[in-house]
Amino acid sequence: MSPMPATYLWLIPLLPFAGFLVNGTLGRRLPRTLVSAVALLCTAIPAALVAWLWITMRAAGAPDSIALDSGPWIAISGFHVDFAGAVDHLTLIMLGVVTGVGFLIHLYSVGYMAHEEGYWRFFAYLNLFMFFMSVLVLAANFLLLFVGWEGVGLASYLLIGFYFQKTSAANAGRKAFVVNRIGDFGFLLAMFLLIAHFGSLDFNQIFSTIGQHPEWLGARFLTAIALFLVLGAAGKSAQIPLYVWLPDAMEGPTPVSALIHAATMVTAGIYMVARCHALFDRAPVALAVVACIGAATAIFAASIGMVQHDIKRVLAYSTISQLGYMFLACGVGAYAAGIFHLLTHAFFKALLFLAAGSVIHALSGEQDMRNMGGLRKRIPITFYTMSAGVFAIAGMPPFAGFFSKDEILYQTFISRGPLGKLLWVVGLITAGMTSFYMFRLWFKTFFGEPRFEDHVSSGEHDTHPIHESLWIMLFPLVVLAILSVIGGWIGIPTALGGHNEIAHFLDPVFASGAGIETTTTGHALELFLTLVSVLVAALGFCFAYILYYKKPSTAALLADRFRPTYNVLVNKYWVDEIYASFLITPLLMFTRGFLQLIFERGVVNGSGRAAAMATRGVAWLTHSQISGNIRSYAGWLAAGAAVVVAAMIFGRSLWVHL
Interface residues with other proteins (CB under 8 A) are: 623, 626-631, 634-635, 638
Phi, psi of 298, deg, nearest 5? -60, -50
As to burial, measured by CB atoms within 10 angstroms (0-12 exposed, 13-18 middle, 19+ buried), residue 376 is middle
Closer Cβ to other proteins, 595 or 639, answer by number: 639
**Would you say 116 and 164 are in contact if contact means Cβ atoms under 8 Å apart?**
no
- Kindly state the smallest distance separating residue 623's Cβ from other proteins, in Å: 5
What's the rounded Cα separation, in Å, for the pair 12 and 133? 10
- Kindly state the smallest distance separating residue 625's Cβ from other proteins, in Å: 9
Closer Cβ to other proteins, 588 or 619, answer by number: 619
What's the rounded Cα separation, in Å, for the pair 126 and 132? 10
- Kindly state the smallest distance separating residue 615's Cβ from other proteins, in Å: 15
- Kindly state the smallest distance separating residue 644's Cβ from other proteins, in Å: 14
As to burial, measured by CB atoms within 10 angstroms (0-12 exposed, 13-18 middle, 19+ buried), residue 461 is middle
What's the rounded Cα separation, in Å, for the pair 651 and 655? 6
- Kindly state the smallest distance separating residue 641's Cβ from other proteins, in Å: 9
What's the rounded Cα separation, in Å, for the pair 233 and 137? 14
Render 117-158 in DSSP notation, one character per residue.
Answer: S-HHHHHHHHHHHHHHHHHHHHBSBHHHHHHHHHHHHHHHHH
**In residues, how long is the chain?**
658
Closer Cβ to other proteins, 79 or 633, answer by number: 633
Closer Cβ to other proteins, 31 or 617, answer by number: 617
- Kindly state the smallest distance separating residue 611's Cβ from other proteins, in Å: 21
Closer Cβ to other proteins, 603 or 638, answer by number: 638
3-class DSSP state of 606: helix
Closer Cβ to other proteins, 597 or 641, answer by number: 641
Closest CA to 536 of 443, 405, 645: 405
The answer to whether the Cα torsion of 157, 163, 165, 167 is positive or negative is negative
Closer Cβ to other proteins, 631 or 657, answer by number: 631
3-class DSSP state of 75: strand
- Kindly state the smallest distance separating residue 607's Cβ from other proteins, in Å: 28
- Kindly state the smallest distance separating residue 629's Cβ from other proteins, in Å: 6
Closer Cβ to other proteins, 621 or 658, answer by number: 621
What's the rounded Cα separation, in Å, for the pair 194 and 503? 29
- Kindly state the smallest distance separating residue 652's Cβ from other proteins, in Å: 20
What's the rounded Cα separation, in Å, for the pair 625 and 592? 46
- Kindly state the smallest distance separating residue 654's Cβ from other proteins, in Å: 23
Closer Cβ to other proteins, 188 or 646, answer by number: 646
67: left (phi over 0), alpha (psi -120 to 50) or beta: beta
- Kindly state the smallest distance separating residue 657's Cβ from other proteins, in Å: 27
Closer Cβ to other proteins, 623 or 657, answer by number: 623
- SS3 per residue for 168-219: HHHHHHHHHHHHHHHHHHHHHHHHHHHHHHHCCCEHHHHHHHHHCCHHHCCC
- Kindly state the smallest distance separating residue 635's Cβ from other proteins, in Å: 6
> Cis before residue 398, ω within 30 degrees of 0?
yes
What's the rounded Cα separation, in Å, for the pair 68 and 390? 40
Closer Cβ to other proteins, 60 or 649, answer by number: 649
Closer Cβ to other proteins, 642 or 647, answer by number: 642
**Would you say 502 and 339 are in contact if contact means Cβ atoms under 8 Å apart?**
yes
Closer Cβ to other proteins, 522 or 628, answer by number: 628
**Would you say 65 and 86 are in contact if contact means Cβ atoms under 8 Å apart?**
yes
In Å, how far are 13, 93, 94, 501, 506 from 52, measured between CA atoms? 15, 13, 15, 20, 19
For the chain, first and last CA: distance in Å? 90
> Cis before residue 247, ω within 30 degrees of 0?
no
Phi, psi of 373, deg, nearest 5? 110, 145
- Kindly state the smallest distance separating residue 622's Cβ from other proteins, in Å: 9
Residue 267: partners with Cβ closer than 8 Å, 6 or more residues away: 94, 97, 237, 323, 326, 342, 345, 346
What's the rounded Cα separation, in Å, for the pair 264 and 245? 16
**Would you say 12 and 46 are in contact if contact means Cβ atoms under 8 Å apart?**
yes
- Kindly state the smallest distance separating residue 642's Cβ from other proteins, in Å: 9
Closest CA to 332 of 262, 393, 421: 421
Phi, psi of 158, deg, nearest 5? -65, -40
Closer Cβ to other proteins, 567 or 629, answer by number: 629
Closer Cβ to other proteins, 588 or 638, answer by number: 638
- Kindly state the smallest distance separating residue 612's Cβ from other proteins, in Å: 19
Phi, psi of 35, deg, nearest 5? -55, -50
- Kindly state the smallest distance separating residue 631's Cβ from other proteins, in Å: 6
Phi, psi of 311, deg, nearest 5? -60, -40
Closer Cβ to other proteins, 377 or 631, answer by number: 631
